[in-house]
Every structure is written in C-alpha cells, then in structure tokens.
Amino acid sequence: MEWLRFNDTLHIDLGILLDPLSVMMLTVVGVVALMVVVFSIGYMKGERGFGRYFGLLGLFVFSMLGLVVATNIFQMYIFWELVGASSYLLIGFYYTRPAAVKASQKAFIVTRFADLGFLIGILILSSYTGTFDFAALTADNAAIAVGPQANWAMALIFMGAAGKSAMFPLHIWLPDAMEGPTPVSALIHAATMVVAGVYLIARMFPVFQFAAPDVLVLITYVGAFTALFAAVIAITQTDIKRVLAFSTISQIAYMMVALGVADVAASTFHLFTHAFFKALLFLGAGAVIHAVHSNEMSRMGGLRKFMPITHITFLIACLSISGIPPFSGFFSKDEILVAAFHHNPVVFGVLLLVAGLTAFYMFRLYFRIFWGAHHYDRPPHEAPPIMTIPLIVLAVLTCVTGFVVPVHIDWAIASAGVVAAVIGIVVAWRFYAKPSDAPARLAARWAGFGQAASHRFYIDEAWLWVTRRIIFGGISRPVAWFDRHIVDGAMNAIGSGTVRVSETIEPVQGGKVQSYAILFVLSVLLITLLVFVLC
Amino acid sequence: MDFSGFLMMPSELGLLAIFVFLLAFDILAAETRAMRWFRPVAIALMTVQMVWGFFPAPEGTAFGEMYVSSPLTSMMKSILNIGTLVVMLQAGEWLRRPENSIREGEFYVITLATLLGMYIMVSAGNFMMLYLGIEIASLPVACLAAYNKYKEHSAEAGAKYILMTALSSGIMMFGLSYLYGAMGTMYFSDMNAAVAAEPMTVLGFVFFFSGLGFKISLVPFHSWAPDVYQGAPTATTAYLSVVSKAAAVFALVLVLHHVFGALAVLWHWMLWGLSVLTIVVGNLFAIRQRDIKRFFAYSSISQAGYILLGVLHGSSAGLTATLYFVFVYLFSNLAAFGVIAAVENQSGRTDIASYKGLYKSNPRLALVMMLAVFSLAGIPPLGGFFSKFFIFAAAAQGGDYLFVLIALINTVVSLYYYLRIIRAMFIDAPGADAVSSFRTDPYNSVSLVLCTTGILVVGVVSWFYNFIAQATF
C-alpha cells in the first residue's frame, strides 16, 4: 500500500512481508510475549499502574510485530522508533524512582543517538539506490555500486543496529534498563527488541555482502570484542539482572559475529534459541526477585529447597546458555563456532573463551542463588502457578528448539565448546557451590582488573566525559550563547521595535471624527494618485 | 406589470415577511405580556430563514438583470444568516436589561432590515441596486450603534458612524457617477463588456472601492472602526465586525470578478498594497489596546487584510479560500464577542484587565475565548488554521511568495497580542475586582456552543470546504 510519494521512483509503502526470517521472528515475539504477559499477571499483581503496564506492553508488542513484518526500511524505522519509545516508557514504569527515570532517559538518548546514524544511513542508501524496499534492495540484480557511499550507508545502518542491540560502545544503556519491571526486561531487553539490530542486519544481509563487505569485517570485530568484554564484566556483577543484561550483550554479540562471518542461518538460529532461554532466565530471576524482594546475589542462597520449579527451569536455561547438549543453546552456539572457525581462527578463539566465561558466570549466578545457605527472616515461597507455568513452557521450548533445524554438528568443534563450558561450570562449582575463599583470593590478586571490570571498564564515565566536556562544553555552550545573545537579541529588538512603532502611531487614532474624515479623503486621493502614477 | 420576477427572490421575500411580522408584533404587543414571546419567536423565525436558505434557490436574473441569483449568492446569504442568528442569540441578555426592555423589538427589526440590505448587496446586478443595498445595510446600523443613546459612548459611536458612512457613500456615489459617465450603463454585465483602463473608469473604480473599503474597514479607511466598535453595544459591534464586514467582502468579490475583471492588473496591485497595509497597521495598533472591544476592532481590521489577500488572487481557489476564511472568521469572532457580551453583562466592564483570572471563575467561558483567539491566530487544528492555510496556499499558487512571507510574519505578531488575552485569563492572578462566577444566559450559551462547534468542526471536516468550493465554481 502506497503511503507517501516523493517522486516517480521514490516512495514509501506500508505493507506486510512474510518470509522465513520474519515468520521466525514472529514466532519468537509471539511466544515470548504471550509467556511474559501471563507471567506478568502474577508478577505485577497489586502494583500501581497495573492497567498502564499492560497497555504499554501491548504498544510494545504491536510495534515489535510491525518492525518484524516491515516491507521496507523506512517502515521498519518507524516501528523501530516506536519500539524505542515503548521501551522508554516501560523502563521508566516506576517513574517515582529516580534511578528508573534516569535509566529510561539514558536508554532513550543512547538509542536515539544511534538511530540518528540509522536515519542518515537510510537517507544515503535510498538517495543512491532510489528505493526503500527490502525486496528491491536485496534482489540478485540490485544495482548497488560498491564504494564509499555504500560503506558509509551500511556502516551508519549498523550504528543503528548496534545501538538497539547494545554493541560496544553503545551498550551502556542496557544494564541500566534493568530498572524496569523484570518481565519487561525479559521481553524487551533480552528476547525481542535488543535482537532487532541482528534482525535488521540479517534482513539487509545481501546488501552488506555485495556492497559493503568491509562493514561485515567491522561487525565481526565489534561483535567479538563485545562478546568478550561483556562476559568479563558479567563475572564481576552482583545484581542478578545486571549479570543477565551483560550476558545478553555477550550473546547478541555472538549473533553479530555470526553475521559478520557471513552465516545468517547460524545467527538467526542463535537468536531463536537465545530468545527462549534468555526469557526463561529473566522470568526465573523475576520469580526469585519476587520471592526475596531483592536483586542482590548476597541476599540469596539455598533457594533450591524453597523454589523447586524455578530452580529446575533456571538450571535448564543455564545449561542451555552454556552450550551443554542436548539443550538448544548447544546447537546454535556450535553453528556459530563452526562458522567462526572456518573464517577466522582468532575470532574463534575469542568465542571459545567467551563460551567458557559464559558457563562460569551463569553457574556462578546459579550456585549463588540456589545453593549454599542463607538465612531468611521470612522463608521465601515458590511463585504462584500463573508465574511458574510460563517458566515450564519456556523450559520445554529450551529443551526442544535445538532440534527444529536439522544441523550438521562438527563434533571436533562442538566438543571444544562443551569442554570450555564444562571447565567454566566446574570452576564455578568449586568457587561458589560451597563456601570457599578462592574467589576472594583471586580477586585480591587481580584487584585492579576486577575493580575496572566491576565498574564496567569505566565506559559510562568515558561517555559522560565526551558528552559533558566536548558536546556540552565545546559545542552546546557557544551555540547557546549565540542563541541567547545574537538570535534572541535580534528577536527582542524586533519585538521592542514593533511595540515602539505601535506607540508612535497611536496619536493618529485621536478620536476626532473630523480628522478621520480628512484622513479618509486624503487617502482616497493618494491612492488615486498612486494608481495613476504606477499603472 | 410582471410579478414573476419576485419568484426569483424567495429568500428576500421570506426575510421581508419576517421583518414585517416582527414589526407588527412589536407595535401591537408593545408593553404587554406577549412581549415575553418576542425573542423566542424572532429567533425561531430567523432559524427557519437560515435553514431555508440552504435549500437550492432558483437561479437566474430578474427585473431586467437588476437582481441576480446563483448558488454563490445563496451561499453568501446563508453565511450572513448564520452570523445574524448568532448575533441575535447573543444580544438577548443585554436587551432584557431594564433600560432596554421597552425597545427590545427594535433591535431585531433593525437588524433584519440591514440583513435585507445585505441580501440586495450580494444579489445586485446593477450598481444602483448595489448602492441601494449598501445604504439599507448601513443607515440602520447607525441606529444600532447608538442604541444605548443615553450613554455617551454609544451616542458618539452612532454619530461617528453615520458621519463616516455619509462621507464614504458620497465618495462612492461620486465614483459611480464617473463609471456611468465613462460607460453609459450601470448594469454589471454591460459594464463588464465595456470596461477599459481609461482614466475616468479608473478614477471611478478607486472611489467606488474606497466606499466598500470603508465597510470592510481596510486601512486607511478604517479610522472609524475602533471608536465605533468600542462605543457601540457589544451585539452591534459583533454584527459590524462580522456580518456587515462579510457582506461588504462578498459584494467586493462579486464586483471585482463580474465587472472589473479587465482591470485586474490595476486592482491586483492596489489590493496588494492595501492588504499589506491593513494587516500591518491592524497588528501594530492591536498590540497596545487595553479595551477588549477596541482590541478586537484592530484584530478584525488585520483579519480583513487576510481576507483581501484571498480576494486579490482571483483564481477560484482564492475565491473559495476567501469565502471559507469569512465563514471560519464568523465563528471565531462571534465566539469571542459572545464571551465579551456575557462578561460585560455581568460586570459592565470591557477592559482586558477584567479578564484576569477568568479561567478560575468561569472556566467554560475562558475556554471558548481561548478557542476563538487561537482560531483567529491560526493555531491548528482549529478552523482558523485551515482558513489561513488555504489563503496562503492560494497566494503561493499565484506565485506571491513575498506576500505570504509578510503575512506569516504578521501572524506571529498577532499571536503575541492574542496571547495577551490568554495570559490574562489563564495565568494572571485575578485582581480584587475580578469578574465573579456567573451563569451565562441560555440563548448566549447556545450561540457559544454553535460557534465553538464551528471552530472545531469546520476546519477538520472537509465537507464545508468542498461545499463552498462547489458553489464558487
């Protein structure tokens, strides 16, 4: 359906695109959204703004589905922004908490900043290809010249994708976005919205491949670096949702690497499996938080006795994300590792290391929540059925989704991945399953590095420095000065000048009817004269 | 004698019948209990007349082309009908006051008489007929202006109005005599064929034009307007600023297009200059007014400049835009005057300072005033935005970007002074002598609801624009 026409060739349509990729995304969004909504009924019970919550959730799901079925890049951009806006509203759901308000603003500003790049990329791309349409852009005969233009356009589009998908250095908003209600984190900041960037690049992959292969290399390295970087940070975090947030960043980076090494199938497969087990992890975390009323690991322990269902499902998700067969994560991770191995051994090594680290920090989380001992003032209790049923459904999906796609398993690489994961799990078990002073000793030895990692390598501070010093101080302040003194000054001069003229001419209207009559007659004569002179 | 010509003019005959009936009612029922029914009867009859006006009227000419009827004239008359009905609704409360009640009927009767004159202005096919209509529409208005004859301001307004009307009529008649001398005819159709840019014709045209410019209150023929608007009773001011002005605009549009089409080059630049002057001067004076009626006098002067902008781009889009502008202006300005009338009846005050804190005491009136003022300033999505938009679009279509620029700048200036009223009503703290909370007269409430609906609906519902466009083609 045509919506907006610029000229004969360039127009924006609204439509619905169904192909394997979008159907896969529709399944993911639909299933996870359903589970999250059901879970939320229990989680949000008795909260203020119960209705508002579900309204916003509906808005988000609508926007996300619109994004998925978009037929052209501009329609996708529209829904892309809508997704961002609903994400902003949901992160700031507890708008009375300053931290939530700050986090929502941060998320919005960072993603908007990235979207600016995205929009410029769209404009460049459309101006020299003359179309917005995905089908036309990705057709075999699409005449997209390789050149700096294509590189710039695609790099900027990747910038938009990186913002939404929290790639380094635009990842800073995602950990803070955990201020939103936990089911929201599960839906938006784990399973659906954050993978929109992956989806976008997968959707436009042929363009990247033919017109801008250099950008794919960039994507590979950004992805590999982000995967390692986020995994290291995840080890040091103590807030369970933040651990999950960094694990999300790391896993999405995995998908990005797969795209960079030109294996779209592996990337989308990992997207598919990740959505379920990550949603499961978040909802499980939500159930735990609901039970103990805290996000901090130090306030938890030994929960496996109190919350058996949550415990089992959480364990399944942990095994899956660590890549232990036969859970879904194993299959998709293996695909990515194979693709990376054939492409670039260094990247493969990084990913293998990340696989080990992932297993380590996930089981650190698992052991600290569910094992060990902790004294509770009030014993926590298992979540109600309305919350546990989604957990069970997602756990089942986590077990089976690995088999939906027939994959060829390269056992040599798969076993390397599994060994890395097992090492990570064993280390985590040694460190955290039983009381041990090993973590403390290790932390002491690596104090500087651990400190930096737990402060997320000071990336937030770096951004603040850039925005404060360079943008606010270097650009905004002079502009503001110009605006206040030159622009406003000119405006004020015009305004006061108008008023002064108005004062000056006031006596003309003196109230004497004789003078009015004279004015009238003189005006008629003057007009007559002018008409005769001029015409 | 052939009476079939009267069949061509059903609306005039209907209005005449209402006029005669109400005159008889007023005389026969004077100072009896039956006068209680005068107002409802008058308003009911006027409503019937208005509704009737929307039905298709016969088209053609009558009395040897003295009288012309077309869908365009019928629609202009309908617009005038709506305006008159709203004014009659708004006037009721003021007329019921003890000092006026004995003369209540007069107001309606005189108003209808002037309306009849306006009908003739719109339907004229001959300059004598047009002149007659202008006179019928002008002289009784002086009575309306001086209605509160024991109040000095009102009497002064009446005197000023009659003096200036006489002057402008004289100049106009003088111009007409030149036109007749140049072309030997007074019929529009004959003159249209004969008109040429000769000195005598041009002189006659300029003189004639200044007579109509007086009625539209174009600068520099506007000087009477502020004094009369301020001094006259509010209902009269509303009538003058909307209905009377609209009739003159309609007559001007028709004459320019039906008679002086050949002089288009000439009047295009003349109107151009005058409308720029009108908008700018109206705005500059409006900035410093303290009396709200005087303020609206200047505001309506600058609005007249915008109307002229549509007129001078002779395309059909320009014509449609002009009528549409007048239609929206009618609702916006009458809504404002309805509020002014209500406040004045309650407090007896018309200075802008008395509107301070109106939102606290009378939120609904303040909201109506806000809508009216926003519509006049051209804020979307109100009617005023669309009417200005169409005017500007017509001008831009004619390639007149300079004018659009000037008009836009002036729109910004006008926003400044319109916002003064908003500020007084919503932001300023009410003074010690602020208007207290009161109930608005039901008739006036009906008129305000009607106007508010008009402001909100006319812009958004494209049916109105299409309806006008249909009649103008």
pTM of the model: 0.61
Interval A82-91 mean pLDDT: 87
Closest of B228, B231, B280, B262 to residue B403, by C-alpha: B280
What's residue B314's pLDDT?
64
Does B315 have pLDDT greater than 70? no
Q: Give A521's contacts in chain B (Cβ within 8 Å).
A: 167, 171
The CA-based dihedral angle spanning residues A77, A83, A85, A87, taken in that order and rounded to the nearest 10 degrees:
-150
Asked if residues A181 and A105 have their Cβ atoms less than 8 Å apart, the reply is no
Structure tokens at B313: 């781009």
- Residues of chain B with C-beta less than 8 angstroms from the C-beta of A501: 284
Query: How many angstroms separate the CA atoms of B421 and B175, rounded?
Result: 41
Domain end point (choices B259, B294, B316): B259
pLDDT of residue A441: 67
Average pLDDT over residues A57-85: 88
Residues A368, A434: contact at Cβ < 8 Å? no
Q: What percent of chain A is modeled with pLDDT above 90?
A: 0
Q: Computed from CA positions of residues B212, B213, B214, B215, in that sequence, does the dihedral angle turn out positive or negative?
A: positive
pLDDT value, residue B156:
87
Phi, psi of B60 (to 5 degrees): 140, -165
The predicted pLDDT at position A471 comes to: 67
Task: Identify the band that residue B154 occupies on the pLDDT scale cut at 50, 70 and 90.
Answer: confident
A359, A362, A195, A219: which is closest to A272 by C-alpha?
A195
State the nearest Cα–Cα gap between A490 and chain B, in angstroms.
Answer: 15
Whether B133 contacts B121, CB under 8 Å:
yes
Q: What is the predicted pLDDT for the residue at A436?
A: 64
Looking at the fold, whether B287 and B178 belong to one and the same domain comes out as no
Q: Give contacts of A516 with chain B, Cβ < 8 Å.
A: 160, 164, 223-224
B413/B464 same-domain check:
yes
Candidates A506, A519, A534; nearest CB to B220: A519
Q: Which residues of A touch B224 (CB under 8 A)?
A: 513, 516
Q: Are residues B336 and B369 in the same domain?
A: yes
Residues of chain B in Cβ contact (below 8 Å) with chain A: 159-160, 163-164, 167-168, 171, 197, 199, 202-203, 206-207, 210, 214, 220-221, 223-224, 226-227, 265-266, 269-270, 273-274, 281, 284-285, 287-288, 413, 416
CB within 8 Å: B221 and A501:
no
Quick one: A37 exposed, middle or buried, by C-beta within 10 A (0-12, 13-18, 19+)? middle
The ranges assigned to domains in chain A are 2-134+148-445, 449-481
On whether ipTM exceeds 0.85, the answer is no
Calculate how close chain B gets to A9, using CA atoms only, in Å: 25
Percent of chain B surpassing pLDDT 90: 31
**Residue B173 pLDDT exceeds 90:** yes
For residue A446, what pLDDT is reported? 66
How far is Cα B12 from Cα B133, in angstroms, rounded to an integer? 12
**CA neighbours closer than 13 Å in the CB half-sphere of residue B441:** 22
Sign of the C-alpha dihedral computed for residues B121, B127, B132 and B134 taken in this order: positive
Residue B319 sits in the same domain as residue B403: yes
Q: Hey, are the CB atoms on A531 and B285 less than 8 Å from each other? A: no
Q: Identify which of B202, B223, B273 has the shortest CB distance to residue A520.
A: B223
**Is residue B454 domain-shared with residue B331, that is, in the same domain?**
yes
Asked if A528 is an interface residue toward chain B (Cβ–Cβ < 8 A), one would say yes
A294 touching chain B per CB within 8 A: no
**B267 with B403, same domain?**
yes
Q: Which of B164, B226, B269 sits opposite A513 (nearest CB)?
A: B164
Chain B residues lying within 8 Å of A500, measured CB to CB: none
Q: From the list B206, B281, B285, which residue is nearest A527 (CB)?
A: B206
Q: Tens digit of pLDDT for each residue in B419-446?
A: 888 888 888 887 777 777 888 888 889 9
Residue A98: is the preceding peptide bond cis (ω within 30°)? no
Local structure of residue A434 (DSSP, 8 states): S
Average pLDDT on A363-373 reads 81
Number of domains in chain B: 2
- CB contacts of A509 in chain B (<8 Å) are 223, 226-227, 285
Q: What is the spatial distance between Cα A524 and Cα B171, in angstroms, rounded to a whole number?
A: 9
Nearest CA in chain B to A520: B221
* Contact assignment for B221 to A502 by CB distance below 8 Å: no
Buried b (16+ CB within 10 A) or exposed e, B325-353: bbbbbbbbbbbbbbbbbbbbbbbeebbbe
**H or E stretch covering B410:** helix B401-422
| pLDDT for B330 beyond 90 | yes
What part of A 487-526 touches B (C-beta under 8 Å)? 495, 498-499, 501-503, 505-506, 508-509, 511, 513, 515-517, 519-521, 523-524
- Contact criterion met (CB below 8 Å) for B251 and A521: no
Counting residues of chain A whose pLDDT is more than 70, the rounded percentage is 86
pLDDT for position A378: 72
Could you tell me which residue, B31 or A506, shows the higher pLDDT? Answer: B31
Nearest to A511 among B221, B227, B281 (CB): B227
Do both B193 and B302 map to the same domain?
Answer: no
Q: Which of A475-479, B423-427, B454-458 has the lowest mean pLDDT?
A: A475-479
Q: Which of B197, B221, B285 sits opposite A520 (nearest CB)?
A: B221
Instruction: Provide the shortest C-alpha distance from residue B417 to chain A (in Å).
Output: 11
Q: For chain B, what is the mean pLDDT?
A: 87
pLDDT confidence of residue A453: 65
Band the pLDDT of A433: cuts 50, 70, 90. Answer: low
Mean pLDDT for chain A? Answer: 81
| Residues B274, B246 within the same domain | no
**How far apart are alpha carbons A436 and A428 in whole angstroms?**
11
Distance CA A95, CA A93 (A): 5
Which of B204, B232, B259 marks a domain boundary?
A: B259
Lowest model confidence (mean pLDDT) among A2-11, A288-297, B173-182, B324-333: A2-11
Is residue B1 over pLDDT 60?
Answer: no
Give the residue from B230, B259, B288 where a domain finishes: B259
Q: Which domain holds residue B125?
A: 1-259
Strand pairing partners for A12? A4
- In this structure, of A433-442, B183-192, B385-394, the range with the lowest mean pLDDT score is A433-442
pLDDT (mean) for A500-511: 71
